[in-house]
Amino acid sequence: MNRLAVIGAGSWGTALALALAPRFDRTRLWARDRDRAREMETARENRLYLPGFTLPQQIEVSSHLSYVIDQADIALTVVPAQHLRTVMLELSVCLPRETILVSATKGIEEGTLRRMSQVIATALGDGSERIAVLSGPTFAQEIAAGEPAAVVIAAEDMALAESIQRVFATPALRFYASVDVIGVELGAALKNVIAIGAGICRGLGLGSNSVAALVTRGLAEITRLAVALGASPRTLSGLAGLGDLVLTATGNLSRNRYVGLQLGEGRKLQDILASMSMVAEGVATCRAAHQLGAQHGIDLPIINQMYCVLYESKDPLQATRELMDRPLTNE
C-alpha cells in the first residue's frame, strides 16, 4: 500500500494528509473547489482552513476526483457528514475495486440516521468488507504540527484494521485497532453534541464543576445510545469515546464547543454558523441523535435539551435549569 488519496481538503483532511504523506510514495488531496485546489497546489498551503503549514511537494492537490483516486490503495474520506453521500456517489464511478476506504468523517446522516460507514457502503452499492473508520481525540492544528496523538482504526475485520494500523502508524500518531465500528462512529458523532452543551456552560459563566458534570453524564448518554445500537461499552470508555469527548468539550480549538459558548453568551445559532468557515458537525448530529433516542426509547436528557436549544430556540439557561431539576435517581 503506497498510494494514498485524501478526499476532502478541510482542516482535518489537510492535517491527515500532512501526517500520513511520509508513509506513502504518493499522496493526492482532493478539494472540491477548483480555484482553491489551484491555490493550494501553487501556494503549498491551505490558507483558508489550515494556514501556517507548508504542504510538501509529495502532496498533490487537485479538484479532479478521478485523478486523485486513480490507482489509490487507500482512500481516506474527510468530507462533512451531510455531504458524504453526494461525494461517494461521485466517487463510485471511478473508484478502483481494490481500494480500501477509511472514513474520518464524524457525524450521523440526517434523514436516514445512518453512520458514515453505512453511508459509504450504500452509496457505493458495496459491502463493508473494505471499509474502516478512524477517530480519536485530535485537533487538526496539533496533528499538522506533528504533536503526539493516539486514535482508533476500526473495521469489522480485525485483519483489515490491523493492516491499516501498520500502514498509517507514524512516530507522532499511534493507532489502536478495533472491530467495534459502531462504537467508534457513534462516540465520534455524539461527543460533538455534548461539546455544544459544555460550551454553553462556559458561555453562561459556569465553572469547571458544571462542565465536569455535563461531560460525565453526557458520556453516560452516549454509552446508553451506542450500546442500544450494538456498540461495546468498552469502546466508549476509550479514545473514540471518553478521550474524544473530553478534548472536544474542553479544548479551545473545538468548533462545537465554540458554538455552545456563543449560544451561552446570547448569540443566535444562525449568526454563529454564518460567521464560521468550518462545519460544526454537532449541530446536525444533535437532531439525528434526538431522533435515534426517540426511535429506540433511550433516555437522553442532555442531548434532548441541546435539541431544544438548537432547533426550538430554547433559552440555554432554562435548558440548564431543567437538567438540574430532573427527578433524582441512582447513577
Average pLDDT score over residue span 132-144: 98
DSSP 230: T
Instruction: Inform me whether the pLDDT recorded for 330 exceeds 90.
Output: no
Looking at residue 329, what is its pLDDT?
A: 85
Domain span(s) for CATH 3.40.50.720 in the chain: 3-179
Q: How many CA atoms lie within 13 A of 124 on its CB side?
A: 23
Q: What would the pLDDT profile of 62-109 be if each residue is shown by its tens digit? A: 999 999 999 999 999 999 999 999 999 999 999 999 999 999 999 999
Helix, strand, coil share (%) of the chain residues, nearest 5: 55, 15, 30
Lowest-confidence segment of 117-131, 160-174, 300-314 by average pLDDT: 117-131
Between the CA of residue 7 and those of 16, 181, 213, 215, what are the distances in Å? Answer: 11, 20, 37, 32
Q: What is the percentage of the chain residues whose pLDDT exceeds 90?
A: 95
pLDDT value of residue 128:
83
Query: In the prediction, which pLDDT does 148 show?
Result: 98
Neighbour-count burial for 39-49, b at 16+ CB within 10 Å, e otherwise = bbbeeeebebb
Q: In this predicted structure, what is the pLDDT of residue 171?
A: 96
| Whole-number pLDDT of residue 108 | 97
Over 90: is that where the pLDDT of 130 sits?
Answer: yes
3-state DSSP assignment of residue 317: helix
**Given pLDDT bands bounded at 50, 70 and 90, which one contains residue 299?**
very high
Positive or negative torsion for Cα 59, 65, 274, 291: negative
| 263 φ/ψ angles, rounded to the nearest 5 degrees | -60, -45
- Quick check: 1 pLDDT over 80? no
- Distance from CA of residue 275 to its chain's centroid? 20
> Could you read off the pLDDT of 222-256 as tens digits, one per residue?
999 999 999 999 999 999 999 999 999 999 999 99
pTM higher than 0.75, yes or no? yes
Question: What is the CATH number that goes with domain 3-179?
Answer: 3.40.50.720
CA distances from 128 to 107, 176, 222, 229 (A): 18, 20, 24, 17
- Is 191 among the residues known to form the active site? yes
Beta bridge partners of 153: 134, 177
Residue given cell 457525524 in the structure block: 107
Residue 277's pLDDT is 87
Compute the mean pLDDT over every residue in the chain, rounded to the nearest whole number: 96
Give the right CATH number for 188-324 from 1.10.1040.10, 1.10.10.10, 3.40.50.2300, 3.10.129.10.
1.10.1040.10
Annotated catalytic residue: which of 106, 191, 268, 314?
191
pLDDT of 143 over the 80 cut: yes
Residues of the chain with CATH 1.10.1040.10: 188-324
